[in-house]
DNA sequence: TGTGCCGGGGA
DNA sequence: TCCCCGGCACA
């Protein structure tokens, strides 16, 4: 914590970058070494070692002193080689621009051997490995720039997450290192979108530019960047952070969408989207109302007609209306239809109540009756039934 | 509107 | 029971 503050001072940008770069390598290596140590020895000792290192780092403001102090914390490394490496790293990186983007592998090539047989876990710092620490491209960059990162990120990490399992963290860091070796990091800060090739650089960028300065590191920056790699979309350790980062932004971006569906249903689009169901509902309601309110429509209202929108009745015109007034309007319309289209029948029904209950008048046959055959003038020639206005017996159907 | 026919009513 | 007719349904 304190180390982060002291290192990230206003004038310590470049040196900090250098430290980070160099440190990232060593971080991974050392950390893996620590893992092995944990496996071999006790975890307690390792933790104590880290704590000592951080304490020392926190008290150092000079890069060299920092590196030296860092060396102290690496009992398993050859102090000379480590010192040389870090000094060189500090020099190279100090000479470089602040922007990690500029850091091209060619600049690290001068030290490119040791493709790191010393994988993150392999690690014990062989001499060749010391030069390999700076190999950025070589696959096992995992041991790469994390020395300082360890002193910074790890400081914060350990400071905040002492209780985290070391193994899990190692895995995460390893994956980060691997990713950082190939991909880029894009700042997710609203309106920024800056892309850096270094995770450390990105973190620093976020911390300084967005989080209000180095004082607010606390690994918050992890939440504000994401890897942009050509090959992977590997869910980085910050998968939670990614989800979190995507949260605010996605919430911002999705704000128009979700509310659109949630808050703006009355909009035309929402209405149109919901039109089918509404139409169906209207149909259903209309059918229900027709079924219950108007018998004449019931005959015509088949589901097919409803689905095909073959609405010829006044009810169709009432569809767009609101449901509350809809039923009422439909009933009114159908009442109107009843009044206008079925008056005679209703009148007939009411006029002859006695006949309605049992008489099923058969359809009029095609056969001519006495009336037609003989005509009204010759009524005397009709059959008795015809004369009596009964069913014709002479020309029955 | 014309026709067929049912049902009611009167003689 | 016969006859007549009002009235409705249907084309």
Determine the distance between A355 (CA) and C6 (C1') in angstroms.
12
**Domain final residue, candidates A122, A146, A171:** A171
Query: Is residue A51 domain-shared with residue A166, that is, in the same domain?
Result: yes
Nucleotide closest to A363 measured between CA and C1': C10
What's the Å distance between residue A368 CA and nucleotide B4 C1'? 10
Domain assignment of residue A323, yes or no: yes
Please indicate, yes or no, whether residues A149 and A46 belong to a single structural domain of this protein. Answer: yes
Single residue among A224, A254, A284 that ends a domain in this structure: A254
For A123, the token pair is: 């690690």
Q: Are residues A18 and A165 in the same domain?
A: yes
pLDDT in tens, chain A (397 residues): 333 333 333 333 333 333 333 333 333 333 333 333 333 333 333 333 333 333 333 333 333 333 333 343 433 445 555 556 666 666 656 555 444 333 333 333 333 333 333 333 333 333 333 333 333 333 333 333 333 333 333 333 333 333 333 344 444 444 444 444 456 777 777 777 778 787 788 788 777 777 776 555 455 556 677 776 544 333 333 333 333 333 333 333 333 333 333 333 333 333 333 333 333 332 333 332 333 333 333 333 333 333 333 333 333 332 323 233 333 333 333 333 333 333 333 333 333 333 333 344 555 666 678 888 888 878 888 888 888 888 888 887 7
Considering only CA atoms, which of A184, A69, A81, A197 is closest in space to residue A132?
Answer: A81
Q: What's the pLDDT at A389?
A: 86
Please check whether residues A285 and A206 belong to one and the same domain.
no
Q: How far is the CA of A340 from the C1' of C3 (A)?
A: 39
In a domain? residue A259: no
Pair A219, A239 in one domain = yes
Same domain, A217 and A127: no
Q: Quick one: A23 and A159 in the same domain? A: yes
> Is residue A161's beta carbon less than 7 angstroms from any atom in nucleic acid strand C?
no
Whose CA is nearest the C1' atom of nucleotide C8?
A348
Residue A213 lies in a domain: yes
Integer Cα distance of A12 and A200 in angstroms? 14
Q: What is the tally of structural domains in chain A?
A: 4
Residues in chain A, how many?
Answer: 397
Contacts of A151 (CB under 8 A, 6+ apart): A3, A7, A19, A23, A27, A53, A54, A57, A66, A70
Residues A58 and A152 in one domain: yes
Q: Is residue A241 part of a domain?
A: yes
> What sign does the CA torsion over A245, A250, A252, A255 have?
negative
Residue A147 lies in a domain: yes
- What's the confidence (pLDDT) of residue A236? 35
CA distance A84 to A322: 81
What per-residue confidence (pLDDT) applies to A35?
Answer: 32
Q: Is the CB of A347 under 7 A from strand C?
A: yes
Per-residue confidence (pLDDT) for residue A271, from 0 to 100: 32
Q: Pick from A207, A223, A254: which residue ends a domain? A: A254
Q: Does A268 map to a domain? A: no
Same domain, A37 and A146: yes
A384 CB contact with strand C at below 7 Å: yes
Task: Find the domain containing A90 and state its range.
Answer: 2-171
**Residue A390, CB, strand B, below 7 Å:** yes
Q: Are residues A94 and A17 part of one domain?
A: yes
Same domain, A245 and A309: no
So what's the pLDDT on residue A84?
Answer: 63
Structural domain contains residue A197 = yes
Q: Are residues A86 and A156 in the same domain?
A: yes
For residue A334, being part of any structural domain is answered with yes
At residue A369, the pLDDT reads 81
């Amino acid at each position: 914590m304190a180390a982060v503050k002291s290192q990230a001072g206003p004038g310590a940008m470049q040196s900090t970058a250098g430290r980070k770069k160099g440190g990232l390598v060593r971080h991974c290596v050392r950390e893996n070494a620590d893992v092995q140590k944990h496996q071999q020895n006790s975890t307690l000792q390792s933790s104590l070692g880290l704590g000592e290192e951080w304490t020392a780092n926190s008290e150092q403001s000079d890069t060299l002193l920092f590196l030296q102090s860092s060396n102290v914390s690496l009992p398993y490394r050859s102090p000379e080689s480590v010192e040389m490496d870090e000094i060189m790293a500090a020099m190279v990186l100090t000479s470089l621009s602040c922007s990690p983007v500029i850091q091209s592998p060619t600049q690290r090539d001068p030290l490119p051997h040791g493709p790191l047989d010393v994988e993150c876990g392999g690690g014990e710092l062989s001499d060749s490995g010391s030069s390999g620490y700076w190999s950025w491209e070589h696959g096992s960059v995992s041991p790469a720039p994390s020395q300082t990162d360890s002193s910074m990120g790890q400081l914060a990490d350990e400071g905040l997450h002492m209780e985290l399992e070391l193994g899990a963290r190692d895995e995460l860091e390893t994956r980060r290192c691997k990713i950082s070796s190939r991909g880029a990091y894009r700042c997710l800060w609203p309106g920024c979108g800056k892309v850096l090739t270094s995770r450390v650089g990105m973190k620093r960028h976020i911390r300084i530019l967005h989080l209000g300065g180095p004082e607010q590191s606390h690994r918050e920056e992890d939440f504000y960047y994401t890897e942009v790699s050509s090959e992977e979309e590997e869910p980085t350790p910050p998968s939670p952070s990614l989800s979190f980062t995507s949260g605010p932004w996605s919430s911002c971006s999705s704000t128009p969408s979700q509310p659109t569906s949630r808050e703006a249903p009355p909009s035309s689009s929402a209405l149109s989207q919901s039109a089918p169901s509404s139409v169906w509902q209207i149909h259903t309601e209309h059918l229900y109302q027709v079924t219950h309110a108007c018998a004449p429509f019931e005959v015509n209202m088949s589901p097919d007609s409803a689905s095909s929108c073959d609405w010829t009745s006044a009810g169709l015109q009432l569809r767009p209306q609101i449901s509350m007034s809809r039923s009422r309007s439909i009933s009114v319309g159908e009442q109107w239809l009843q009044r206008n289209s079925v008056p005679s029948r209703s009148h007939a029904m009411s006029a002859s109540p006695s006949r309605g209950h049992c008489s099923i008048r058969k359809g009029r046959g095609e056969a001519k009756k006495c009336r037609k055959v003989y005509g009204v003038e010759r009524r005397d020639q009709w059959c008795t039934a015809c004369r009596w206005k009964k069913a014709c017996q002479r020309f029955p159907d």
